Amino acid sequence: MQKMTLREIADACGGQFVGDAALLDDFAHDIKIDSRAVKQGDLFIAVKGERLDGHDYIDSACENGAMCIITEKAIDQTPSIRVASTFAALKDIAEYYRVKMDKKVVAITGSVGKTTAKEMIALVLAQKFDVMKTAGNFNNEFGLPQTIFRIEPHHDVAVVEMGMSGFGEIRNLSRIAKPDVAVIMNIGESHIGNLGSRDGIFAAKCEIFEHCQDGALAVLNGDDDKLATLERDGAVFFGRGSNDVSVQQIIKADMRGTEFVADVFGEAMTLFIPKPGEYLIYPALAAAAIGKRMGLTGVQIRRGIAEFVPVGMRMDVINTGRITIINDAYNACKQSMLAGAGTLKFADGRKVAILGDILELGEFGPDIHFETGRLLGSLGLDLIICVGKLARHMADGAEKTSAGKVRYYETQAALFEQLDTLITVGDTVFVKASRGMRFENIVEKLGEL
């Protein structure tokens, strides 16, 4: 982070400085909300979260060298900055810092594939620019400000991810990031329990445009029925159909990856994604569109996409010597589950999917699980194993189209009792469920077979 004075920080968040006024021109080296991460010269914001209150860790932050505290309460430690809401202060300071740094920001949202798109876009842009990107899952109202603070003077572009679970969150994130490029990958059913319908999800995702820079580029999935209806001046659409950036020909698709010809604003490019799954074409097309618009050559775009490596527990192919595991257990929705399981068509040996509950669907959960199972059953898999309470409906759906090839277990413990009888040497096993299901435990057990 570029250093900011306490005066700048207090002004940015509208806080009241407490302490020796001569300290207002001192610099904070960095801004932290985790007291354990505080180092000498950092500023600590005592943010109240869902589970923890940063005010309980002020002493710890000071012991680690915090030079100032942003707080909602009167405290003994000085200097400090008193505010009505430390959470609001975090976002206000991040917004100020983003404007102060004045770098290009590419912001990505969507129901599925945000992180993959972020990785591909960053890799492509890194062929020409110095790029900072979102680390881990720092994509919400706590995480995005910390991502923005990582922008350094030497960076040219920041590629940031925006997640949400309800209305207003993307709007708040857009206010902080003020995107120069706004990407929406798709409108699925994630968080439909909070947002009521895909139309609600569509409206929430489109909040990204409310704080874009003047003349910002919108990059949209033209194959998505909701996004295809958007009318924005200068918007760019990507996809398999008739779009500004589109797929012209699939040359080869297998477990080693997908090679295809893309039309990128009239230029033919042969691109290779070195991981299985034709659905990865979508983030590759988005990356190509942005790269081309930001002045990269076809060679640079091809090179960036060819360097793609999935982030943890996303289509991670593991060969144990006995079986092949495709670990996609980071998170799940109907669309990503079907797309991921669809890659098994490229696998040798028996094709097995171990699938679990898709969470945060509210009253829509049973029907969405049933429909997911029904569509899974039509993929021609040798065995579908469903695990979890909601997954009962997935198993019922799968039985409709794949009778006799479905097994159901309410718990992982029940599955583990029979796992060695279900999986045989040479199988390829795809594993996926919502994050809260912790299906990495199943991946670990499979690795022990």
Domains defined for the chain, CATH in brackets:
4-84 (3.40.1390.10), 103-306 (3.40.1190.10), 316-448 (3.90.190.20)
Other C-beta atoms closer than 10 Å to the C-beta of 101 total 18
Question: If you average pLDDT over residues 81-109, what whole number do you get?
Answer: 98
pLDDT in tens, 265-321: 999 999 999 998 899 999 999 999 999 999 999 999 999 999 999 887 788 899 999
Q: Which of 393, 394, 365 is nearest to 193 (CA)?
A: 365
pLDDT of residue 104: 98
The reported pLDDT for the residue numbered 112 is: 87
pLDDT of residue 348: 87
3-state SS class at 248 = strand
Q: Pairing between strand 27-28 and 16-18?
A: unpaired
> Quick one: pLDDT at residue 315?
86
Res 136: pLDDT: 82
Euclidean distance between CA atoms 265 and 284, whole angstroms: 14
What's the distance, Cα to Cα, between the start and end of the chain in Å? 46
The answer, yes or no, to whether residue 42 has pLDDT greater than 80, is yes
Distances (CA, A) of 151 to 38, 95, 132, 145, 351: 18, 12, 7, 10, 44
Rounded mean pLDDT of 145-159? 97
Q: What is the pLDDT of residues 205-250, one digit of tens each?
A: 999 999 999 999 999 999 999 999 999 988 999 999 899 999 999 9
Q: What is the DSSP letter of 207?
A: G
Sign of CA dihedral 301, 306, 307, 312: positive
Helical residues (DSSP H) of 270-333, grouped into ranges: 281-293, 298-306
Positive or negative CA dihedral for 157, 316, 205, 165? Answer: negative
Phi and psi at 17, nearest 5°, equal -75, 135
Average pLDDT, the chain: 95
Compute CA distances 403 → 6, 337, 406, 411, 440, whole Å: 66, 20, 7, 22, 27
DSSP secondary structure code for residue 244 in this structure: S
The pLDDT of 52-75, averaged and rounded, is: 96
pLDDT tens digit string along 393-405?
999 999 999 888 9
Quote the pLDDT of residue 404.
Answer: 83
410-422: average pLDDT? 97
Residue 50, token pair as written in the block: 């869902």
Q: Does residue 186 register a pLDDT over 90?
A: yes
pLDDT at 187 over 80: yes
Q: Report the C-alpha gap between 308 and 306 in whole angstroms.
A: 6
Cβ pair 375, 368 in contact under 8 A: no
HEC string of 159-186 equals EEECCCCCCCHHHHHHHHHCCCEEEECC
Residue 196 backbone class (left: φ over 0; alpha: ψ -120 to 50; beta: rest): left
Check residue 14 and give its pLDDT: 97
Q: pLDDT at position 225, please? A: 96
Say which DSSP state 364 is in: G
For 245-268, what is the mean pLDDT?
96
Concatenating the DSSP letter of every residue in 59-98 gives HHHHHTT-SEEEESS--SSSSEEE-S-HHHHHHHHHHHHH
